[in-house]
């Protein structure tokens, strides 16, 4: 036991100076921060910028989805970052623009589900069978 302690004390001359170890630790922390920034912070900033530009581009007639899940048509863009949305006939609410989650621009077709596509194919097959 005393031999290993004495051996460890004698090998101090061959080890690297303490300043090099400190620099290696700082470099490791810097690399970890860079990786964190690349994987987390930068994509989140891009997503926030895209959402902000989408919300600022909202205009009358656009169909929107709010954070609460309400789907409606924009009837009026008000001041102070507010939008008037018609949820149903004669049902209008005022919504803060930042709560808009998605915007369907006027004239943008709704995306069909796989189930809808399958139903269309089935109907086409039935028509072909009836004709042929």
Report pLDDT for 82.
92
**In-domain check, residue 130:** no
Whether 22 and 47 map to the same domain: the answer is yes
What total number of domains does the chain contain? 2
Q: What is the CATH number of the domain that holds 92?
A: 2.30.30
Measured CA to CA, the distance from residue 30 to residue 25 in angstroms comes to 9
Domain with 27 in it: 16-56
Report pLDDT for 26.
93
Tokens of 75: 């009837």
Other beta carbons within 10 angstroms of residue 62's beta carbon come to 20
pTM given for the model: 0.55
Report pLDDT for 46.
93
**In-domain check, residue 64:** yes
Whether 46 and 32 map to the same domain: the answer is yes
List for the chain the helix, strand, coil content (%; round to 5). 55, 25, 20
Written as tens digits, the pLDDT of the chain (132 aa) is: 555 665 555 555 555 577 788 999 999 999 999 999 899 999 999 999 998 988 888 888 999 999 999 999 999 998 878 999 999 999 999 999 989 999 987 655 556 556 667 777 777 877 777 776
Sign of CA dihedral 113, 74, 96, 69: negative
**In-domain check, residue 8:** no
Whether 50 and 63 map to the same domain: the answer is no
Radius of gyration of the chain, Cα coordinates, nearest whole angstrom: 31
């Amino acid at each position: 036991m005393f031999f290993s302690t004495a051996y460890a004390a004698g090998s101090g001359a061959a080890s690297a100076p303490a300043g090099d170890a400190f620099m290696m630790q700082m470099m490791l922390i810097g690399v970890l921060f860079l990786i964190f920034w690349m994987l987390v912070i930068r994509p989140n900033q891009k997503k926030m910028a895209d959402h902000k530009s989408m919300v600022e581009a909202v205009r009358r007639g656009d169909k929107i989805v709010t954070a609460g899940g309400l789907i409606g048509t924009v009837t009026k863009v008000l001041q102070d970052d507010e939008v008037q949305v018609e949820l149903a006939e004669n049902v209008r609410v005022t919504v803060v623009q930042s709560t808009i989650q998605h915007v369907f621009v006027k004239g943008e077709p709704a995306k069909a589900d796989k189930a809808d596509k399958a139903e269309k194919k089935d109907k086409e097959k039935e028509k072909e069978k009836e004709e042929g």
